[in-house]
């Protein structure tokens, strides 16, 4: 009898424990992963899984933080109270919230949850999960003739999971739910292998650094990892989570952090350039206007504009101060996003606008003819304009979501719509004399083809060149004339055409980062910018490119240049870069230690050099295998890099600027020595 009573008592205690679990408890369990995929019938599918990471106190409320499987997606905040789940913006958690579930409903209740508005409960019950746990289950419908959908407390809809995406062109499918390594629910149409794959979050490599003369401290901010490997760019490595390193010579070092995962076979790498005792030619400007993307457009050395996604700013003192300008903002629920800006002078310019949740009659051009004192909405029915340009003679070209070109020849005061002959244009460049080049898509994603189009009559007619599928993700282009131009894009290409886009030549540069925008000042001088602070420049018409901007680590978005000494780059973190033609190193020369290369059987002469420098292997019995030479200038830019194939290597320095250079030698990827080289005019 005592044994039976004890057993009954334990069961009652377990029952009480199960019943005492709340929605908050379910959603805040360590390792909770709600694994789902989103399928769009046109754009394909992507992982839409979320993992609970921790709780936090914000705005006087205890909130749950969920991290998305895609590393560049913002985290999501949830507020949970008595079975109700609200979703809040991570960037502005104290603002409005959105009800996404109410697990406290009973039969006959109707929900106001965002994705399920006006659904009502027709039945409740209990579901047993794979770990034996019992939870409340709700059956809801919006129409008595339809099969009810199923909710489970702490999981969400068994169709799409807790974080469904509203999409009239697709749907979200819940694959499984895991708590650490244990699967507690799985879609009967899916396998454990699929569940493990979707629920395994990719490692996210992230780090920053502090430089003090030749010592660099690295702060690892990565997540979802099981192993760490640092490559410091000078032949030295480390497996410490946080690391520090002492460099032996000045330079711009490409430091790579590689992560491994217990549930994935591939590795994940992030590389940043680290400036060690070199001059910084690009100065970081922090105007304190935004933490997000900022585009910069200067019209002279003093006057320029900056736009964020929803604000406009102007400077008349080269960025020392910025004054906000105002523009028409539609009433809710319309959401207006500023996409691009093009100012042609101190008075005239155009901003392309993207309108969400707007009537089809809404305008999507903002035009100023008074230096931004007023910005006027133009062209009813334009609705969504991705990009727009204004020319020096008052023409405006703009396009957006659908094929067709909106065109003005009176400084944007009136527009007409022109045919683009089946191409959805996203960017324009005006070459002068009625010649226009445009980048666009033919067809609908994912079956679309990227196209470069040319018009010699201001957009009245077009000739299209379709690009190979390899260049589908093209994002930036610049043409010199109807035949010669450059193109770059997200999947890491820089290409050149000399026949109007009929054929393309791959252009290489010494960096793994991807160029996404390109601009030429003239037919010789140009820049390309891109991910993680990439800046490359050319002074020979794009035949060779030099990597610059060592140290700035955020995506660069826009280029505004007046001449070789006045150039500004917009970025993705609220800052912008300004070129400094007089940049000098802040590192003390006495700190620089030269390692005698003669100890490694290498002789360098003449020094100083003015036409060429020679590197010679002094002992013929020393192997040339894997002996690499690199030479960088005081900005950290690599001027030469290559292997010694013969015992003597001669390098032409005739076109190099006068100043100090650093010759670095590596054998089998291990740094063996450095030597200072002086180049004279």
User: In the CATH scheme, what is the homologous superfamily, with its name and number, of domain 207-276?
Assistant: Immunoglobulins (2.60.40.10)
Percentage of residues in the chain having pLDDT higher than 70: 93
26: which 2 tokens?
């379910």
- Whether 207-276 and 594-679 share one fold: the answer is yes
Q: Is the pLDDT of residue 325 over 90?
A: yes
Distance CA 301, CA 322 (A): 15
Find the DSSP H helices in 566-656.
none
Distance CA 250, CA 613 (A): 20
What tens digit of pLDDT does each residue of 55-93 get?
Answer: 999 888 999 999 888 765 668 899 999 999 999 887 778
Greater model confidence, 595 or 681: 681
281 φ/ψ angles, rounded to the nearest 5 degrees: -75, -20
Mean pLDDT estimate for the chain: 89
What was the pLDDT predicted at 623? 61
What was the pLDDT predicted at 590? 41
> What DSSP element (H or E) covers 294?
none
What was the pLDDT predicted at 3? 46
Greater model confidence, 428 or 248: 428
What tens digit of pLDDT does each residue of 253-285 get?
Answer: 889 999 998 888 889 999 888 999 888 899 999
What tens digit of pLDDT does each residue of 343-371 get?
Answer: 999 999 999 999 998 999 999 999 999 99
Distance CA 28, CA 31 (A): 9
What tens digit of pLDDT does each residue of 523-551 get?
Answer: 999 999 999 899 999 999 999 999 888 88
Domains of the chain, by residue range, sit at 22-199, 207-276, 594-679
Please determine, looking at this structure, whether the domain spanning 594-679 carries the CATH number 2.60.40.3080: yes
Q: Is the pLDDT of residue 14 over 60?
A: no
Q: Is the distance from CB of 137 to CB of 126 less than 8 angstroms?
A: yes
- pLDDT confidence tier of residue 629, bands split at 50, 70 and 90: confident
17 φ/ψ angles, rounded to the nearest 5 degrees: -65, -40
Distance CA 435, CA 429 (A): 9
Q: Is the pLDDT of residue 8 over 60?
A: no
Distance CA 328, CA 7 (A): 71
What was the pLDDT predicted at 4? 44
What was the pLDDT predicted at 619? 63
What was the pLDDT predicted at 288? 86
551: which 2 tokens?
């140290």
Q: Is the distance from CB of 411 to CB of 394 less than 8 angstroms?
A: yes
Q: Is the pLDDT of residue 672 over 50?
A: yes
What was the pLDDT predicted at 11? 41
Q: Is the pLDDT of residue 336 over 80?
A: yes
Q: For residue 428, which of 305, 340, 300 has the smallest C-alpha distance?
A: 340
What was the pLDDT predicted at 678? 87
Q: How many helices (DSSP H) and strands (DSSP E) are in the chain?
A: 3, 55
131: which 2 tokens?
């770990």
Distances (CA, A) of 33 to 126, 181, 249, 349, 448: 21, 10, 47, 48, 34
Q: Is the pLDDT of residue 19 over 80?
A: no
Distances (CA, A) of 247 to 213, 216, 593, 626: 9, 8, 10, 21
What was the pLDDT predicted at 16? 38
Rounded mean pLDDT, 638-666 = 84
- pLDDT confidence tier of residue 9, bands split at 50, 70 and 90: very low
- pLDDT confidence tier of residue 620, bands split at 50, 70 and 90: low
pTM, full prediction? 0.70
Rounded mean pLDDT, 199-220 = 91
DSSP string, 609-625: BSSEEEEEES-TTS--T
Q: Would you call 201 helix, strand, or coil by DSSP?
A: coil
What tens digit of pLDDT does each residue of 174-208 get?
Answer: 999 999 889 999 999 988 888 998 998 888 899 99
* Bridge partner list, 100: none
Distance CA 572, CA 106 (A): 47
What tens digit of pLDDT does each residue of 285-301 get?
Answer: 999 888 889 999 999 99
Q: Is the distance from CB of 302 to CB of 319 less than 8 angstroms?
A: no
DSSP, res 588: -
What tens digit of pLDDT does each residue of 412-462 get?
Answer: 999 999 999 999 999 999 999 999 999 999 988 778 899 999 999 999 999
Instruction: Give 153-158's long-range contacts (Cβ < 8 A, gap of 24+).
Output: 153/23, 153/26, 153/83, 153/103, 154/23, 154/25, 154/26, 154/27, 154/103, 155/26, 155/34, 155/185, 156/34, 156/100, 156/101, 157/115, 157/116, 158/185, 158/187
Neighbouring residues of 401: CB distance < 8 A, sequence distance ≥ 6: 383, 384, 386, 424
Q: Is the pLDDT of residue 12 over 70?
A: no
What was the pLDDT predicted at 66? 93
| Gyration radius from the chain CA atoms | 30
What was the pLDDT predicted at 536? 95
Kindly give the pairing relationship between strand 376-378 and strand 365-368: antiparallel
Distance CA 1, CA 246 (A): 74
What was the pLDDT predicted at 20? 67
What was the pLDDT predicted at 73? 62
DSSP, res 401: S
Rounded mean pLDDT, 389-413 = 94
What tens digit of pLDDT does each residue of 451-467 get?
Answer: 999 999 999 999 999 99
- pLDDT confidence tier of residue 677, bands split at 50, 70 and 90: confident
Rounded mean pLDDT, 142-166 = 91
- pLDDT confidence tier of residue 622, bands split at 50, 70 and 90: low
């Amino acid at each position: 009898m005592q044994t039976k009573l004890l057993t009954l008592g334990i069961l009652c205690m377990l029952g009480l424990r199960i019943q005492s679990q709340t929605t908050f408890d379910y959603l805040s369990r360590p390792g909770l992963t709600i694994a789902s995929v989103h399928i769009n019938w046109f754009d394909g599918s992507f992982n839409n899984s979320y993992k609970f990471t921790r709780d936090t106190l914000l705005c006087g409320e205890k909130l749950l933080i969920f991290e998305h499987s895609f590393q560049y997606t913002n985290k999501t905040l949830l507020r949970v109270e008595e079975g109700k789940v609200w979703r809040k913006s991570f960037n502005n958690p104290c603002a409005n919230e959105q009800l996404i579930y109410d697990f406290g409903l009973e039969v006959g209740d109707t929900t106001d949850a965002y994705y399920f508005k006006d659904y009502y409960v027709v039945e409740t019950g209990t579901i047993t999960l794979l770990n034996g746990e019992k939870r409340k289950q709700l059956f809801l419908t919006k129409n008595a003739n339809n099969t009810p959908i199923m909710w489970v407390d702490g999981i969400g809809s068994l169709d799409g999971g807790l974080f469904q995406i509203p999409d009239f062109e697709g749907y979200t499918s819940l694959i499984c739910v895991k708590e650490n390594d244990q699967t507690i629910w799985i879609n009967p149409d899916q396998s454990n292998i699929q569940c493990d794959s979707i629920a395994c979050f990719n490692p996210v490599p992230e780090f920053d650094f502090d430089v003090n003369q030749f010592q660099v401290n690295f702060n690892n901010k990565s997540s979802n990892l099981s192993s760490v490997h640092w490559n410091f760019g000078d032949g030295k490595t480390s497996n410490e989570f946080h690391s520090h390193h002492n460099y032996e010579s000045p330079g711009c070092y490409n430091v790579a952090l590689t992560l491994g995962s217990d549930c994935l076979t591939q590795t994940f790498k992030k590389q940043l350039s680290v400036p060690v005792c070199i001059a910084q030619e690009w100065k970081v400007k922090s105007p304190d206007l935004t933490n997000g993307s900022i585009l910069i457009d200067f019209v002279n050395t003093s006057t320029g504009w900056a736009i964020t996604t929803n604000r406009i700013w102007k400077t008349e003192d080269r960025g020392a101060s910025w004054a906000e300008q105002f523009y028409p903002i539609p009433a809710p629920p319309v959401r207006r996003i500023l996409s691009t800006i093009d100012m042609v002078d101190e008075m005239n310019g155009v901003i392309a606008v993207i309108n969400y949740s707007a009537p089809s009659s809404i305008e999507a051009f903002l035009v100023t003819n008074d230096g931004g004192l007023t910005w006027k909405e133009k062209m009813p029915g334009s609705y969504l304009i991705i990009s727009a340009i204004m020319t020096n003679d008052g023409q405006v070209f703009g396009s957006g979501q659908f094929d067709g070109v909106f065109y003005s020849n009176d400084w944007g005061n009136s527009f007409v719509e022109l045919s683009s002959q089946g191409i959805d244009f996203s960017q324009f460049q005006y070459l002068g004399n009625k010649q226009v080049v445009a980048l666009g898509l033919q067809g609908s994603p994912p079956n679309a083809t990227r196209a470069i189009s040319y018009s010699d009559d201001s957009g009245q007619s077009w000739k299209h060149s379709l690009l190979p599928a390899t260049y589908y993700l093209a994002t930036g282009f610049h043409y010199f004339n109807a035949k010669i131009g450059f193109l770059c894009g997200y999947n890491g290409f820089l290409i050149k055409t000399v026949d109007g886009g009929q054929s393309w030549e791959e252009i290489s540069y010494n960096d793994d980062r991807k160029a996404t925008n390109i601009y030429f000042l003239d037919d010789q001088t140009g820049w390309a910018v891109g991910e993680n602070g990439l800046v490359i420049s050319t002074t020979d018409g794009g035949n060779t490119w030099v990597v610059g901007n060592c140290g700035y680590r955020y995506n660069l978005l826009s280029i505004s240049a007046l001449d070789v000494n006045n150039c500004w780059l917009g970025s993705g973190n609220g800052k912008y870069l300004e070129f400094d033609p007089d940049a000098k190193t802040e590192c003390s020369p006495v700190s620089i230690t030269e390692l005698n290369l003669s100890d490694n059987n290498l002789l360098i002469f003449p020094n100083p050099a003015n036409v060429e420098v020679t590197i010679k292997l002094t002992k013929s019995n020393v192997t040339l295998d894997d002996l690499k030479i690199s030479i960088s200038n005081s900005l950290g830019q690599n001027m030469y890099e290559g292997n010694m194939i013969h015992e003597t290597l001669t390098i032409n320095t005739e076109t190099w600027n006068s100043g100090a250079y650093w010759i670095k030698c590596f054998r089998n990827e291990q740094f063996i020595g450095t030597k200072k080289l002086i180049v004279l005019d």
